[in-house]
Structure 1
Amino acid sequence: MPQSLKECFPMIQSRGEILKQMNKQKNLKATFESWKPEEQKEFLDICTGVRGVKMLYDAFFKEVMNPEYAPHRLNSFLSVILKDSVHVMSVLPNESTRLTDESSLLIMDIVVEFESGGIANVEVQKIGYLFPGQRSACYSADLLLRQYKRLRDEKKKGFSYRDIQTVYTIVLFEHSPKEFQVYPGVYRHCFEQKSDTGIEFKMPQKFIYIPLDIFRKKQQNEDGKIHNRLEAWLTFFCRDEPEMILRLIEQYPEFKALYEDVYELCRNVEGVMEIFSKELLEMDRNTVKLMIDEMQEEIQRKEQAIQEKDRALKQQEKELTLAKRQNESFEQRIAELEKKLLEK
């Protein structure tokens, strides 16, 4: 077994070779020097194999998982996610009405159609947004409506609701929302509609969520064990330690080709620097967006608490007014009785 990534992937360049390429071009050198020291170190460590490539970087992810020239990879991944053998027949245009500010948090967002007619929306979020259930339901409904309109137009009078196939919404979180943190040992959550009486309908919407941060913690607690093919894929996506990459390749050799594609990409220093710069910018934007979302949620909680206090104060004021009126009425009655006694 190779002892280093360089041993396993001879195309990986040395630190000297990378610096030499940067020094030849003023714009590359200026970009590199504009980064913080820790960012410079991370970039060089990635390119030289000191640490693994982060597969959740946008360009790297799309390079290895592009369904147009490597459909078998997406087939394999989706088959283990859905626990069913699927084959991607085509990539559909992504016409989602997704909000503009959400696009920056998405590493990948594609819609594919299976041979069976089913559809899957696959996305990877860098930072999970608030209200994941409501958001997923909206985009799933949008996709289901697109399928309905397309089938109705194609089949015309021959259309039947029987033609509607399952629409899957598959979301991977690099940093999952707080709802998932309540289940620290669970890294696959599947949702589907069911009756509370036992009656069975074919409801075409299904949702699968994969919190990669929770998987990572679980795997670290188990000394890096890879138990099955699903865990192999998740290891590929979220682990960049050289020892974990080498362990994955030893246990599942087919992943070596995926890493080779990325390390060939890394030979283009200018291209990789552009990717890295974009990721740094997106991370800043994502952090700001997350902070804004959390602040808005905190403001809403405080406003709700203030409203509840106002309601309680108004209720107390109403009760005090009523008690005061009752007291005044009581005092008036006593005065009337005293007057009558004096008259006698």
Structure 2
Amino acid sequence: MDFCTGARGVKMLYDSFFKEIFSSEYHPERLEEILSLILKRKVRICQVLPNDSVRIADEQSLLITDMLVELDDGSLANIEIQKIGYAFPGQRVACYSADTLLRQYKRVKSERKNKFTYRDIKTVYTIVFFEKSTQEFHLLKEHYIHKSKQVFDTMLQLETLQEYILIPLDIFKENMHNKIIDSELEAY
């Protein structure tokens, strides 16, 4: 009733609403724009990949991706919505990234057959929006976008294919409360 009377808004992070708003089938420009702003490069979505549910290793842990898209350079972006941060977000994010990388490996190897090389595998971006983040994020309240990729302590330059972007929306809201929006990304 509160929604119908305007007293309360729609829960935008519910899967069904988020997927409708950022549907690459009906509104590809929305998802392309937010990914372009987050990744700081122009993004064009080539296709939406099916949400395969797989079991990691032989465990009973089931992974279901929220939204998986292939970008114009062949890289993959796995966009996840987490209503409540888990006790170990780093480990969970690593599992989602590993799953996405393995899916790409299997698909590309199957397509390229004997012509396959590991250079055919492209970067996998795992982007997680947290509605309620864990304590680790609250130790860095001035930051609401956390980007990570693997680097070597010797500055050796190798493309390692996995990048992570974690966005705690509760901290974003705290940072933006009563502040002027300065960028397109903040507007989203």
Same fold (TM over 0.5): yes
2:148 alignment counterpart: 191
Given the alignment of the two structures, is residue 201 of structure 1 paired with residue 158 of structure 2, yes or no? yes
Given the alignment of the two structures, is residue 225 of structure 1 paired with residue 180 of structure 2, yes or no? yes
Structure with a larger share of its residues in helix: 1
Which 5+ residue runs of structure 2 have no aligned equivalent? 56-60
Q: Which residue, out of 74, 79, 84, partners 1:122?
A: 79
Given the alignment of the two structures, is residue 148 of structure 1 paired with residue 111 of structure 2, yes or no? no
Counting matched residue pairs gives 183
Choose 1 or 2 for highest CA Rg: 1
Does structure 2 retain, via aligned residues, the 8 Å contact 1:86–1:115? Answer: yes
Q: Which residue, out of 111, 128, 132, partners 2:89?
A: 132
Within-5 A mapping of 1:167-186: 167-186=124-143
SS in 2 for 1:122: strand
Measure the CA separation in 2 of the matches of 1:116 and 1:122.
17
> Post-superposition shift, 1:51?
4.2
Structure with a larger share of its residues in strand: 2
2:58 alignment counterpart: none
Quote the RMSD (CA, aligned, Å).
1.7
Sequence identity, in percent?
A: 53
TM (normalized to structure 1)?
0.51
Does structure 2 retain, via aligned residues, the 8 Å contact 1:109–1:121? Answer: yes
Measure the CA separation in 2 of the matches of 1:48 and 1:63.
22
Given the alignment of the two structures, is residue 113 of structure 1 paired with residue 70 of structure 2, yes or no? yes
> Post-superposition shift, 1:67?
1.4
Within-5 A mapping of 1:143-292: 143-220=100-177, 223-233=178-188
Given the alignment of the two structures, is residue 87 of structure 1 paired with residue 87 of structure 2, yes or no? no
Which 5+ residue runs of structure 1 have no aligned equivalent? 1-42, 234-344
Measure the CA separation in 1 of the matches of 2:113 and 2:157.
28
Does structure 2 retain, via aligned residues, the 8 Å contact 1:96–1:139? Answer: no
Amino acid at match of 1:132: P
> Post-superposition shift, 1:154?
0.9
Greater relative contact order structure (CA < 8 Å, 6+ sep): 1
Distance 1:200 1:188, change over 3 A: same
Amino acid at match of 2:82: Q
Q: Deviations over 1:197-235 (max 9, x none)?
A: 011001100000000000101111xx23211111111xx
